Structures are given as structure tokens and as C-alpha cells.
Amino acid sequence: MRERLDKILNRYVSRKLMVFVVASFGLFSGTLTSSDWVIISAVYIGTQGAIDAIAKLRQ
């Protein structure tokens, strides 16, 4: 079941984006503090930037 769900999610949404969306939902619902959200968003932006840079270098 989990493998099937991962396969579906990999087709449509990256896992990093999914974590970012869940963290944003947690922030707006009040279950996550703003400082924790900042850390999660910084990690998301940093890793996405690194992935984009590596992809450009490989072209």
C-alpha cells in the first residue's frame, strides 16, 4: 500500500513540496510554531536551489 502511495505521489508532487505544504498547513492551523516553519521552508528552498543548480550544470 505504501509503495503504491509513493508511486502516485512521485508522479504528481515531490516529497519536499509535500513536506512544505504540510508544514504550511500546520502553521496556519496553529500546530506548528513560526520558527519551526521558517526552518522547514529554509531547508526546502535550499535543497530545491541546490537541485536546480546541479540540473543546470548537467545540461
Residues of 21-55 as b/e, b for ≥16 C-beta within 10 angstroms? eebeeebeeeebeeeebeebeeebeeeeeeeeeee
**pLDDT tens-digit profile, the chain (59 residues):** 778 777 766 666 677 777 888 898 999 999 999 899 888 888 887 887 787 788 788 87
pLDDT for 11? 65
For the entire predicted model, the pTM comes to 0.58
